[in-house]
Structure 1
Amino acid sequence: MKLIKVAGGELNQIPLDWDHNKQNILDSIEDAKKQQVSMLCLPELCITGYGCEDAFYSTGVHQMALEVLHELLPATKGIVVSVGLPLVYQNRVFNAAALLVDGEIAGFVAKRYLAGNGIHYEPRWFTPWTEGAVGEVSFEYYDLPEKFQKKVYPIGELFFEVDGVRIGFEICEDAWVANRPGRNLYAYGVDVILNPSASHFAFGKLEVRKRFVMEGSRAYGTVYVYANLLGNEAGRAIYDGGVVIASVGQLRAISERLTFHDYKVTSAVVDVDLGRLEKFQSSSFEHITKESGHHICIKDYKFPEAKLEAYERDEASWEFSETLQEEEFARAEVLGLFDYMRKSYSKGFVVSLSGGADSSAIVSLIWLMVQMGIKQLGMDGFKKKLFYFKEIQEASTEAEIVNALLTTAYQPTENSGDVTWNAAKSLAEAVNAKFYRLDVNNVFKEYIRIVEESIERPLTWEQDDLALQNIQARVRAPSVWMLANINGALLLSTSNRSEAAVGYATMDGDTSGGLSPIAGIDKAFLRQWLVWLEKEGVDRNLTIPALKFVNDQQPTAELRPQDSKQTDEGDLMPYDLLDEIEGAAIRDKKMPVECYSIMRYKFPQYSSEQLKGWITKFFRLWSRNQWKRERYAPSFHLDDKNLDPKTWCRFPILSGGFNRELRMLEELKD
């Protein structure tokens, strides 16, 4: 048996924070050595951070990445480690992984398939490596130590042989395509495939990753080590970590995802000979004989033999239990909020707490952030990550920490009611948030007076409905911005994705804020999630019973007089229908007539005229409100229905508004 201990490390990095990123890498290497790991795979672009955007063009960034790479070498004595960085070769920038062996650089493998869809924009910065190409790179033109400058290193479609073990790479997207590099690595007889990744969180994505790791290890007869970034790295994307290690189709280790740690190393003992046996027995194995230029052999390093008892331990205990979508949402959001707060050095959050579903969901998530963060890190560890926040250092309980970092305000006008007041007050008390009642009615009335005097006529609901609604939402923004400024805190926008789709939000009102944490999730799911958190909760014990006062309501903006009995669905359409239309029209790019056919099948309870009217309303509102979506504060990416125009869903601000397509819908005969 050829037993070695391999590991993947998940790292919570920050773009261009060289010292922070370097320390996480060093700490993970030290942890791996303590676990007696022989081979450690670290995430894609972990030296620079993945989300550097156009800074990847900077020669200064390339220089600094190489400096950090050089500084890491001493720590790799006695271990094999892969680290990711941008690398210049022939005046092009490549997304590369460096294999470091016993304190030396063995070579670089560059990514062949660049992620250029959805939130990823790699082809803007990087050049894809040509299949089969190899070359040499040197660093004499950088201001680096002389020894580092004078060496020439191999780069390209390489595999490495260390102590007789052949090691190859698939870098993130490489494994998600049909013609994945693993096919060539199989032909080279590779024993271990390392996959350094920066794969963002999305609902259900873990199952896809597990499939390509396990199937890759089975099909190619290898050990497969997948390592991913962790946390809210650059603002919008949340990385869920999740090391996966498989051997010849069998899962050997999988780590818990979405944790609050700076780094985490997950290891497994594997038998390299099992993969070789698969290759011996495979009649389809086609060996490539032209290995010159591809094969880097390192003869003067020996892997320590791993222990047999570690290899034979109970694999079932390694499996991290799957989570419901509701819990996935909670874990992703709380990690995103925590990292955004601490990496921006914000002293907590401010939320305009209306007593409705959206703001209540955000307040609940912040409470969960504290509970889950302290459970994972301990009180001291949680406070250490917020070292800059004096009030947190002085707190001694979870309730005191929530009170220190969460400020809420209920901001009524004459159109607000007791139901929302009681819901907001009850929730704030239940989570121990600071809670203020900031009555903005006088400000609302004063704006009306000023404008009425100027235009020389009274404003009425019959003639000025939209203006009167919007000014109420807007007068709430200055006071909560003021609280945020007083506290040095982050104001959170409370608008959701369903509202963003149809523009049912007030610019400079409920869209005000530096971060919009729920703009990537639809209203129907939020309402379902709040009921779940009230009654079931995370780990079956983190619940907020006070959410009953929120969940018993029909969502309403409370911007018209109370006798109008205003509701969101009355203004728009049923939320479940809205979300289905949005998915068909925006995600799936269906035209109005096609959407109608789908909705007739899914919602037979509504008449033909109702569905046509709602679909027409959706397309009209979608088209005229792109400018609002362009102005939303940064939001978290959670699934493939995101509407963020900066990262996922581009649409022209000015367009024909589907006029011809909607005429076709109107003229359609059932």
Structure 2
Amino acid sequence: MQKIVVAGAALNQLPLDWEGNRRRILTAINEARRLGATVLCLPELCLSGYGCEDAFLFPSTPRLAEESLRQLLPHTRGMIVLVGLPVLFEGKLYNATALLVDGQIAGIVCKQNLLCDGLRQEYPRFHPWPAGKHGEIRLGDATVPIGDLSFDCGGVRIAIKIGADLPVDLPDPSDSRPDCHILLNPVAEPFGMGTFALRKEQLAELSARWDLALISANLLGNEAGRIIYDGSVIIAARGKILALGPRLTFRPGELTTCGIPVEQKNTLTPLPNSPASFQGLCGSYVHRMNFAWPQKPAAEVPSPPPAAWEQSPHVVYEEVARALALGLFDYMRKARARGFVVSLSGGADSSAVACLVALAIHWAYRDLGREGFLATLDYFPELAQANSSAEMVGRLLRCLYQPSRNSSEASFRSAQAVAQALGIPLGIVSIDPLVDRYVQEAERILGRPLTWQHDDIALQNIQSRVRGPMAWLLANAEGKILLATGNRSEAIVGYATMDGDTCGGITPLGSLSKAFLRRWLRWLEQVGPIDLAPIPALAEVNRLTPSAELRPPEDSQTDEADLMPYEVLEAIDQAVFRDRLPREEIKERLCQKFPAYSPSQLASWVERFLRLCTQSQWKRDRLAPAFYVGDPSRQPWTTRRLPLLSPGFMPESSQGESQD
């Protein structure tokens, strides 16, 4: 029995950043070598970046990926390193990995099961590799095998499964055990609430079922603008999780090492004699490479214990806070922006976004240290004048409050309390003079007065739209990103004013329901992240009844009166876009879940949801890009799209509501 030190690396890459991506890969290789690791698994498509989108189809992309791969070879002597990259073979592009063994390319393994879930459009950009097929490819001066392969490296067999190629539901191998020692699983798995625990269980079970060691390495951070990766590294063997890497950190990469026992064999069972399911697990062709394993591996460096927040009873709130904060910080630095502007209304959405920016800066400052923080944002030299994370927040976040005569005193107190808690000044600009001027000019052109009785939507929306130019002006003047503050619930039913409260470059909360967001804000007020203090000032926000405050105060406008209770809206959203239930089954489910409401009331809310959702696809098409921290398969911006024009869910006899 031999013990091998293996490693997995999470990398925060950038699409088409050939030099930067290669530099971070080399850092991981060198650190793995320093810690005595012989085998290193890197994430899926880490050399090019996973989010290249249609740039994968440019002829230069696979060529530059191959050039970068060859530059890595001298640095892999004495090691086995798996690198993800796009590969062009026989005129077709493949999502592939290259196994580098002792300074040589041992072979190329290509992905067979491609994803197409809206966020991840692997097909048709890539072609699926046919199971059981293998051939040869010319890379530089070398000809190497390509296809459905596994590798015998000095008596240790290594199998590779990219992303969804890992079969978590294979049957038990009965009496026969596969001659596979190590399974490498590079992935680009988007962060999803609560999904990490399930993934750990699946990988541990697979390692037990097949009696092998398994190394899975994910990307880290906001790689390309929308998808956030948690940077998880999981090393499992014989049913046990041996090591877990830190998740959702703000460093450029994380390396996790572990020693695994391996029974080295000089002669392995020929693959055709293995069970058919094993052939699917480890490939149909074994390529043998000479490799001298260390006779005496270096002493293991124990992996640090899981972060305290991973053990929190509020782990979902903790991980959502970290995922969105990491997404914001990565977006800022990769766009080379000088911070963010938030139009702070005093309500839940804008308060949450402002708090997330502050959390991002505090966590990045902690993970990187002051010098690392300044080096990461070296394009903003004025930050050197700040000496703490709190001072950095003051320089990177600007908040603006734009009241009207319809704004309440409670909203002003709420916005002011949040700004003070975050340590930032609050710019205040009344919009009444601008609104009055627009209304006067419109009345002159129309030849009639505008009244709330006849022009309700127009008079509401002009207030929202007038707020946009000042926020954009401040963002442009300071080189900052204006953040849109909408949430999924409002987007799904079109409860937003185009070019008003939708103004912004990105929408951090775009995949969170309003019901979840309100629960998260109560947690942030009362409990807070385990390594930071709660924000008690959010009590002012959480006491408010959500309201757009666009109608006169005497109308007592509230969001839920305009729409429906947000908990009900969330349940209908899940039934329609996650479960795809027909309307009658949706109504039955709601009656069981919300017995306090009458069946007729619930039925009317279902019809309202379906009507508004159908009419507002055009709005969702125009929303700023959203961060995705939910189920990527049910996003109405992508896979769950509706026609711009259709009767859709609406009964023929109903009259459509205003699309503005």
Instruction: Name the TM tier (shorter chain).
Output: over 0.9
1:443 equivalenced with 2:434 (yes/no): yes
Pairing of 1:338-349 with structure 2 (within 5 A): 338-349=329-340
Q: Partner of 1:250 in structure 2?
A: 240
Is 1:228 the equivalent of 2:228? no
1:84 match: secondary structure: strand
Indicate how the Cα distance of structure 1 residues 249 and 293 shifts in structure 2: closer, same or farther if over 3 A, else same: closer
Q: Is there any run of 5+ residues in structure 2 with no aligned partner, and where?
A: 655-660
Query: Which residue type is aligned with residue 48 of structure 1?
Result: S
Equivalent residue, structure 1, for 2:89: 89
SS in 2 for 1:342: helix
1:197 matched to 2:187? The reply is yes
- The 1:275/1:78 distance shift into structure 2, 3 A limit, reads closer
The corresponding residue for 2:131 is 131
* Number of corresponding residues: 644
- Unmatched 5+ residue regions in structure 1? 140-147, 664-670
Q: Does 1:394 align with 2:385?
A: yes
Residue 421 of structure 1, aligned match among 412, 430, 436: 412
Q: Is the 8 A contact 1:629 1:644 kept in 2?
A: no
Q: Quick one: structure 1 residues 593 and 132, their matched pair in 2 at CA, closer, same or farther if it must change by over 3 Å?
A: same
Corresponding residue for residue 369 of structure 2? 378
Contact 1:41 1:83 in 2 (8 A): yes
Cα distance per residue 1:591-636 (max 9 Å; x no partner): 2222111111111111122112111111110011110011110001
Alignment of 1:405 with 2:383, yes or no, is no
Tell me which residue corresponds to 1:145: none
- How do residues 249-648 of structure 1 correspond to structure 2 at under 5 angstroms? 249-273=239-263, 294-306=285-297, 310=300, 317=305, 321-323=310-312, 324-539=315-530, 541-640=532-631, 644-648=635-639
- Quote the offset at 1:444 in angstroms: 0.6
TM-superposed CA distance for 1:209, in Å, is 1.7
Q: What's the secondary structure of 1:476's corresponding residue? A: helix
Compared with structure 1, are the counterparts of its residues 317 and 514 closer, same or farther at alpha carbon in structure 2 (3 Å cutoff)?
closer
Change (3 A) 1:510 1:256: same
**1:526 Cα shift?**
1.1
SS of the aligned residue for 2:624 comes to coil
Give the distance between the partners of 1:53 and 1:464, measured in 2 at CA: 44
- Give the drift of 1:433: 2.0
Q: Quote the residue 2:48 is aligned against.
A: 48
Q: Match for 1:60: what amino acid?
A: S
Structure 1 residue identity aligned to 2:205 = E
* 1:652 counterpart letter in structure 2: P
Distance 1:69 1:272, change over 3 A: same
**Residue 208 of structure 1: CA displacement?**
2.5
Report what 1:240 is aligned to.
230
Q: Which consecutive segments of 4 or more residues in structure 1 shift more than 3 A? A: 176-180, 283-293, 315-323, 641-648, 659-663
CA change 1:563–1:287 in 2 (3 A) is closer
Q: CA deviation at 1:643?
A: 6.3
Read off the aligned partner of 1:222 and give its amino acid letter.
L
| 1:59-88 deviations in Å (ceiling 9; x for gaps) | 111110000001111111121100011111
Taking the aligned partners of 2:279 and 2:187, their CA distance within structure 1 comes to 30
Task: Give the structure-2-normalised TM-score.
Answer: 0.93
Q: Shift in Å at residue 319 of structure 1?
A: 8.1
Q: In 2, Cα distance between the equivalents of 1:629 and 1:527?
A: 22
Q: 1:318 to 1:619 in 2, by over 3 A?
A: closer
Shift of the 611–122 alpha-carbon distance from structure 1 to 2, 3 Å rule, reads: same
Structure-2 change in CA distance of 1:642 and 1:399 (3 Å): farther
1:156 CA displacement: 1.0
Q: Is the 8 A contact 1:387 1:393 kept in 2?
A: no
Contact kept in structure 1, 2:13 and 2:219, CA below 8 Å: yes
Q: Aligned with 1:515: secondary structure?
A: coil
Q: Is the 8 A contact 2:159 2:283 kept in 1?
A: no
Q: For 1:598, what is the secondary structure of its paired residue? A: helix
DSSP-derived class of the 1:511 partner: coil
TM-score after normalising by structure 1: 0.92
Say whether the 8 Å CA contact 1:202–1:639 is kept in structure 2.
yes
User: What is the aligned-residue identity percentage?
Assistant: 43
2:279 & 2:569 partners in 1: Cα distance? 59
Moved more, 375-384 or 476-485: 375-384
SS at the partner of 1:234?
A: coil
User: CA 1:244 to 1:300, structure 2 compared with 1: closer, same or farther past 3 Å?
Assistant: closer
Q: What is the rounded CA distance, in whole Å, between the counterparts of 1:530 and 1:403 in structure 2?
A: 22
Distance apart, 1:662 and its partner CA: 9.4
Q: In the alignment, residue 613 of structure 1 is paired with which amino acid?
A: S
- Amino acid of the structure 2 residue aligned with 1:411: Q
Question: RMSD value over aligned CA atoms?
Answer: 2.6
Say yes or no: does 1:7 pair with 2:37: no
Counterpart amino acid of residue 511 in structure 1: T
- Preserved contact between residue 117 and residue 632 of structure 2 (Cα < 8 Å): no
How big is the shift at 1:391?
2.7
SS at match of 1:659: coil
Instruction: Rate the CA distance shift 1:304–1:507 in 2: closer, same or farther, 3 A.
Output: farther
Q: Which moved more, 1:215-224 or 1:618-627?
A: 215-224
Q: CA deviation at 1:430?
A: 1.2
CA distance in 1, matches of 2:98, 2:274: 31
1:434 positional shift: 3.3
For 1:643 and 1:445, locate their aligned partners in 2 and report how far apart those are by CA, in whole Å.
42
* Structure 1 counterpart of 2:161, from 170, 173, 179: 170
Distance apart, 1:452 and its partner CA: 0.6
Stretch of structure 1 that moved more, 381-390 or 79-88: 381-390
SS at the partner of 1:211?
Answer: helix
CA separation in 2, counterparts of 1:296 and 1:509?
Answer: 60
Does the CA-based 8 Å contact 1:480-1:491 persist in structure 2?
yes
Report if aligned partners of 2:489, 2:513 keep a CA contact under 8 Å in 1: yes
Give the letter aligned to residue 191 of structure 1.
Answer: H
Closer, same or farther in 2 for the Cα pair 1:501/1:287, shift >3 Å?
closer
Letter in 2 for 1:385: T
CA contact (8 A) 1:583 1:641 kept: no
Q: Does 1:657 align with 2:648?
A: yes
